[in-house]
Amino acid sequence: MSCKRCASNKLKDVNGKVATHFPGREGLTKPLVWVCPRLLVCLDCGFSEFTIPKRELDVLATGSPTEGVVVAQAREKIS
């Protein structure tokens, strides 16, 4: 397998922690979704890729927490 960006063969599979969130001001009132995927990182150019698991992807699709997914909820609505 080679890097999709620079075609290097220097790829490393590592653990990751990613906080995914919705953009813009309105995103501040939606859940912050924690994902701990395996990351494939190019050691030459830094390009990285990962897959978000279905449960976490459902939260991103709906904007609502789902059972079994680690999220951080906004404490109050931003006006």
One DSSP character per residue, the chain reads ---TTT--S-EEEEE--EEE---TGGGGGSPEEEE--EEEEETTT--EE----HHHHHHHHHSS--TT--EE--SS---
Q: With bands split at pLDDT 50, 70 and 90, how would you rate the model's confidence at 48?
A: very high
pTM of the predicted structure, to 2 decimals: 0.70
Q: What is the mean pLDDT of residues 26-50?
A: 92
| Residue spans per domain, the chain | 11-72
